[in-house]
Structure 1
Amino acid sequence: MPSPKEVAQATYDAYRRGDIDTIMGFMAEKVDWKLVGPPKLMRYAGQRETHPEIRRVFDQMAEDDTIQVFQEREFIEAGDELVVLGFVKGYTVPAGKSFETEWAHVFTIRNGKITRWRGFYDTATRCC
């Protein structure tokens, strides 16, 4: 069985390839998923639980953002819990606004499946 770090790394690699099916394969049937931030700045922010809802998040991200750099920089493991610190650079498609910021992802991964995920980054870099 893959470690939480291996699961997270595989999902990041799949994200960079645009392989959402692989990402979804690492999700538990029901996931406590939340990208923290204001939906008025990121329509894909908010709470999700089902595979179709989470898949829609990735669709909306692809429609709204062009990512130029997406890097994981540090993995902090604690049993089934994992914190990943990273960096993203890109621009918003509707407004053409450049952004770059550090981010933090918090995972709970049990039996090789993501059961909980939280994403945090500086949303002010998208608007102001």
Structure 2
Amino acid sequence: MTNLDIVRSTYEGKNSEENGKNLQRFITDETLWTEAAGFPYAGTYQGFAEIEKHVFARLGSEWINYNFQVEDYVAAGDKVVAYGTYSGTNKTSGKFFSARVAHLWQLKDGKIKSFEQFVDSKTVRDAM
């Protein structure tokens, strides 16, 4: 698989469970995952267990239909950028949001080395 194929597999599975399994398959204990400053889950997490606990478990428990609609990808060497739009409805407030986002992935030897999120965090916080 190319680096682009690996990143695509984390977004374009048949369902979110498949995407999660694909993501986990390419993460190592050294993988660094950075959620943007100002985002509700801001911080840098290492390895799948931390990423699952601090990001994905919260997305699943705090949002209805939280989604990243990928518009396109840009790939060069060991870097892949996926960009598009987040959307979802907060379970507590009932408010819907939509925000532009980009994800920067760095890969090495077929594994995800790092992930960094760039997003309009204000729209997400306002929905919460």
User: How would you bin the TM-score normalised by the shorter chain?
Assistant: 0.7 to 0.9
Residues 1:65 and 2:33 aligned together? no
Cα deviation for residue 68 of structure 1 reads: 5.5
1:91 equivalent among 70, 89, 99: 89
The one of 43, 47, 50 aligned to 1:46:
43
Q: Residue 18 of structure 1 aligns to a residue in which SS?
A: helix
How far residue 72 of structure 1 moved from its aligned partner, in angstroms, is 1.1
Identity %: 24
Q: Residue type matched to 2:31 in 1?
A: V
Deviates more, 1:105-114 or 1:88-97: 88-97
Among 72, 75, 90, the residue aligned to 1:77: 75
Residue 27 in 1 paired to residue 33 in 2? no
- Give 1:28 shift: 2.3
Q: Tell me the CA shift for residue 104 of structure 1.
A: 0.3
List structure 1 segments (4+ residues) > 4 angstroms apart after TM superposition.
none
In the other structure, the counterpart of 2:8 is 9
Task: Find the aligned partners of 1:117 and 1:68 in 2 and give their Cα distance.
Answer: 19
Q: Which runs of 5+ in 1 are unaligned?
A: none
Number of equivalenced pairs: 124
Q: RMSD of the alignment, in Å?
A: 1.9
Structure 1, residues 47-77: CA drift from partner, whole Å, max 9, x if none? 1012210111211111112236531112111
> Does the CA contact (< 8 Å) of 1:88 and 1:100 recur in 2?
yes
Residues 1-51 of structure 1 show CA distances to partners (whole Å, capped at 9, x for unaligned) of: x11111111011249423423311111221121010336xx1x32110122
Provide closer, same or farther for how the CA distance between residues 34 and 74 of structure 1 changes in structure 2, counting only shifts above 3 A: same
Aligned counterpart, 2:117 = 119
- Structure 2 gaps, min length 5: none
